[in-house]
Structure 1
Amino acid sequence: MEPHDSSHVDSEFRYTLFPIVYSIIFVLGVIANGYVLWVFARLYPSKKFNE
């Protein structure tokens, strides 16, 4: 019976988990930044150059 190599399992788990976690964080960051830009656009409307 061969002993299981736990480092091999850990590295495969990391290669699967890290892209998923980073993708979720990226999507949440894009949504949050978009919301903040929308709030700033509503609070500080652009001034017209003619006025």
Structure 2
Amino acid sequence: MAGDCVRTHVDLATMEGANESGRAAVNALLDGVKKLDAQRYRSGLPNLFDTLPG
């Protein structure tokens, strides 16, 4: 999915372009999770991984 929707510096359909777009997509997701975690921490709430049933 990221290969079709993420703009990269590679102009060809190559594995390098797929890797770059995949990294960009995952990094964007991680940035959002980090922001959510920081907000929960400031509010005194536990990390979401600590609330999962296990």
Quick one: percent identity of the two aligned structures? 3
In structure 1, the partner of 2:5 is none
* Alpha-carbon distance in 2 for matches of 1:25, 1:13: 18
Q: Normalising by structure 2, report the TM-score.
A: 0.54
**What SS does the corresponding residue of 1:43 show, helix, strand or coil?**
coil
**5+ residue gaps in structure 2?**
1-12, 46-54
State the SS of the aligned residue for 2:43. helix
1:16 match: secondary structure? helix
Does the residue aligned with 2:41 lie in a helix, a strand or coil? helix
Q: Do structure 1's residue 23 and structure 2's residue 24 form an aligned pair? A: yes
Return 5+ residue gaps in structure 1 as ranges. Answer: 1-11, 45-51
User: Take 2:17 and 2:31, find their aligned partners in 1: how far apart are those partners?
Assistant: 22
Distance across 1 between alignment mates of 2:18 and 2:43 = 38
Which residue number corresponds to residue 35 of structure 2?
34
RMSD: 1.6
Runs of 4+ with deviation above 4 angstroms: none
Between structure 1 and structure 2, the one with the greater Rg is 1
